[in-house]
Amino acid sequence: MSDVNENPQQPTDGQPRRTIRSFVMRAGRMTEGQQRGVEKGWPLFGLSLEQGLLDLDAVFGRQAPRTLEIGFGMGHSLLEMAQAAPEQDFIGIEVHRPGVGALLNGLLNNGLSNVRVYDCDAIEVLNRAIPDASLDRVLLFFPDPWHKKKHHKRRIVQPAFAELVRRKLKVGGVLHMATDWAHYAEHMLEVMNAAPGYRNEAADGTYIPRPEERPITKFEKRGERLGHGVWDLKFERVD
């Protein structure tokens, strides 16, 4: 699927308009484990936009710190974080079906119950499902950099995204981003430094060292061996 809405609304001038999305739906072959994750795990952990605005205490059956990760890939980091912090709740969003299946299978195999999963656009989830001032953290690790200049508008980190996330974070909550693209890191920093209601947690107003709570992925380890840098940014909601 492309990165645009395939069912565009028809405006009054009769010309179809397509909505830019923050992702590209990627099909892929499912392994046996991934298929098992979807079949057995989705009824337990899956969430849909049709459920509307969530009551998070009801969804998880308790009150707890809440983290939302946008684009969890194959789910390795989210699974590791959920295992390390059973006292916290996590919501993951990913459009790559094998990744969704892999995470769900991991939850089943490890007996975890503190994760819920969406398989749709993150902006839609934030707008329609997540209550304001309900999240302690929002994580955005290694998003698509859309490195061609003509595609920069597709980058998820934009002023409107910063404001949307700010609304969903509690005061004191943190948006934590990481990228291995230097130009995207600079873009993130520029957008977030200009966004009202945030404080950059970096002492020098730029980037922070990798926090211990962010797992290192295989992809990141490979990049480090090749001499690729990784930039972490943390911005706290202060207003």
Q: What is the pTM of this model?
A: 0.86
* Residue 102 vs residues 23, 65, 75, 98, 108: alpha-carbon distances, Å: 19, 24, 7, 6, 10
198-200 vs 231-237, strand pairing mode: antiparallel
Number of Cα atoms under 13 Å in the Cβ half of residue 28: 18
Known catalytic residue: 144? Answer: yes
C-beta neighbour count of 10 within 10 angstroms: 9
Q: Is the predicted pLDDT of residue 1 greater than 60, yes or no?
A: no
Q: Tell me the C-alpha distance between 51 and 23, whole Å.
A: 22
Return the amino acid letter for 114.
N
Please tell me which residue in 144, 180, 204, 239 is annotated as part of the active site.
Answer: 144
Nearest to 33 by CA among 82, 83, 102, 89: 102
- Tens-place pLDDT, residues 163-221: 999 999 999 999 999 998 999 999 999 999 999 999 999 999 999 999 999 999 776 77
Of the ranges 134-148, 197-211, 223-237, which is most confident?
Answer: 197-211
- The answer to whether the beta carbons of residues 93 and 234 sit under 8 Å apart is no
Question: Given a cut of 50, is residue 15 above it in pLDDT?
Answer: no
